[in-house]
Structure 1
Amino acid sequence: MQSRHNAHKPLRILCLHNAENQASYRYRVKLFLPTWHQYGIEMHPICIVGKNYKDKIILALKSKEYDYIWLQRKPLSQFLVNIIASRSKLIYDIDDALYTRQSGSAGKLKSSKPGSVKMIKRINHIIRKASLVFAGSNELALYASKYNQDAVRLIPTAFNAPENSCLSIPDKNHQLTIGWIGTNGNLPYLKLIDDATHEIQKHHCNILFSVMSGRPPEDLKTNWQFVPWSIDSEKHWLQSIDIGIMPLLDDEWSRGKCAFKLIQYMAYGKPVIASDVGANKTTVEHGRNGFLARSSENWSEYMNILILDEKIRSSMGQESKKIFFSSFERQIIQDTIADILFKYITNECPKTNS
């Protein structure tokens, strides 16, 4: 499918992206960079984090040199957005509910924080001016559709398929491991299931709970093995766990999440347990590749099922892998994006900015 676009004139895209150490950049921009040329697309990525306003204006004025300006996550000022939208076709790529407070935040918000009045105004303006909005979850797509319905496309976060060697079956002496991977800011979600994980740990002394993050979790009854995150160690850790989990609050911020850690677990053929919230609902097929939990009792029940029944773990793990390859693997997502870009540029999906 990659070669079908080569007959077209190459598309030139300027991607103004988030900080390079952010997962949203790694998996919604960087992941695709080595292969865009196979689609007849020239992608020019520039990090706009830390650039002064003058430099941003210069970039905006250069937008007429490109078929698309791909703005990844970071909301620019209305002035800059207007310049870009008047000179090129603007794509806004959003993978978090930046229009609402982050889970657990309290007090007065700084203007640069999600959910602030300034942030909301910028995001809504960008969506209105965008030719295309790439939303990472159904909840984000629903929000964007309120301001520019015709422009919205659902684009899940992609992940590279692991090498076959990464999918080896653990030996019989392997300690069964329940794992969670995420940023420091998401560690508090583990407290939501602390009663359940603590009970499991008391009744199954052979179970290891492992967390991969920037720092260990705090103030939990459950004893978690801490593995510092790095790009190099991530693959080995994902291979080593047996069950992947994703607890969430049922709030507006969490409902906007893109279930990315579930996608990572599934790529490695792991059964999953997740809160019945947001994108988790469509990523987990309850009873097929894992379970959706609504209570602490659910979490205990589903962990026990997967701990005690190796056949169910194996079967659900295989289903996870099938779902990953059909819906989230890098080439699947990149094929979809390329089709959208070429169809829009040839006016198959016309849209007028408002």
Structure 2
Amino acid sequence: MRAFFIANRSSQDYVWLQRKPLAPFLVNMIVRRSRLIYDFDDALYTRQSTHVGKLKDKHPGSPAYISRINHLLGKSSLVFGGSNALCDYARRYASSKSVFLVPTSLERPASVEPSFRIPGQVTVGWIGSTGNLPYLRLIDEAVHDVQKRIPHIRFSVMSGKPPNGLKGKWEFVPWSPETELQWLESIDIGVMPLKDDEWSRGKCALKLLQYMSQGKPVIASAVGENLTVVDEGYTGFLAYSMADWIVAFEKLVTDIRLRCDMGAAGGQRFMSMYERSVVQSKLAEMVRNG
């Protein structure tokens, strides 16, 4: 079906392919007629951090998948990577002049009521897919420690299901498109723990941008694109160890002025660098000049 569709398309200036790599013969068909743009936001050339078991050909990190990615990169006229790590990988196979960093972008959020706020509590929040819930284990000791010593701290998770097997207590809020903004507005601090591996280093820090778009200070593992998105000590804290997580929780939970100042700085950084219209304008210029 894909081959039929491609074969029967008239020549276009560009064909824009996002994320999933096509088979080499399909890529070759495209580039005979048009210039190809490849846009990706995950480290598809390596195993996912949470993947367990044998890799099948359809899984990122398998030899077949890597072969497709590398062929596609080599044939692309423009490559847009969502993180510095992805761009560094792309430059191994594509001309360095054709590879550009295009960060994840979000629309300016609407003003909403914080439906999930609890008076007198400082809420630390994590949002993500169920497949990423295991990352919460990386900060479990820190969460458990501060919960024992700081009575007004609360941890909330918005996902498809609650985390399990943790010592720290997380209050679960089911994700829905209707309530996501209300939940983001209700938290006081946003967190993004990551494992320091090749898959995580390719991530594009979407969670941090979601928090910052709502003017929330952040705490993040000092891994990959987190190092670029977080302005250490200004919009939030980068954690290199469990002790760093504990110190960051303590500072932000006990100092409302610090939370407000960091949240405001993060909101400004989001609007100047990651708001959708800003990124789209830069992206259009890249295509025009490409």
TM-score interval for Structure 1 and Structure 2 normalised by the shorter chain: over 0.9
Gaps of 5+ in 1: 1-54, 345-354
The yes-or-no answer on 1:162 pairing with 2:109 is yes
Q: Larger helix proportion, structure 1 or 2?
A: 1
Query: How much does 1:271 deviate?
Result: 0.2
The verdict on how the C-alpha distance between 1:179 and 1:171 changes in structure 2, with shifts beyond 3 A counting, is: closer
Q: Does 1:78 align with 2:39?
A: no
Query: 1:177–1:208: 8 Å Cα contact kept in structure 2?
Result: yes
Write out per-residue CA displacement over residues 262-291 of structure 1, whole angstroms, 9 at most, x where no aligned residue: 001000000000000000000001000000
Q: 1-side partners of 2:286 and 2:113: how far apart?
A: 33
- Measure the CA separation in 2 of the matches of 1:262 and 1:150: 29
Match of 2:267 in 1: 321
**Which TM-score applies when normalising by structure 2?**
0.96
2:19 and 2:38 in contact (8 A); partners too: yes
Preserved contact between residue 64 and residue 88 of structure 1 (Cα < 8 Å)? no
Matches within 5 A, 1:61-140: 61-140=7-86
1:342: Cα distance to partner?
Answer: 1.4
What is the aligned residue count?
Answer: 288
User: Which residue among 126, 132, 138 is the counterpart of 1:186?
Assistant: 132
Equivalent residue of 2:157, what SS?
strand
Q: Which has the higher contact order (CA 8 A, sep 6+)?
A: 2
Equivalents in 2 of 1:172, 1:227: separation in Å?
13
TM-score, structure 1 as length reference? 0.79
Letter in 1 for 2:255: D
The gaps in structure 2 that reach 5 residues or longer are none
Counterpart contact for 2:50–2:131, Cα < 8 Å: no
TM-aligned CA deviation for residue 59 of structure 1: 2.4
1:294 aligns with 2:240: yes
Provide the rounded CA distance (Å) in 2 between the counterparts of 1:87 and 1:107. 40
Q: What is the Cα-based RMSD across aligned positions, in Å?
A: 1.6
Give the CA deviation at 1:104: 3.5
Residue in 2 that maps onto 1:201: 147
| 1:150 counterpart = 2:126 | no
1:240 maps to 2:190: no
1:227 maps onto 2:167 in alignment = no
Structure 1 counterpart of 2:252: 306
1:341 maps to 2:250: no
SS at structure 2 position matched to 1:147: coil
Identical counterparts, % of pairs: 52
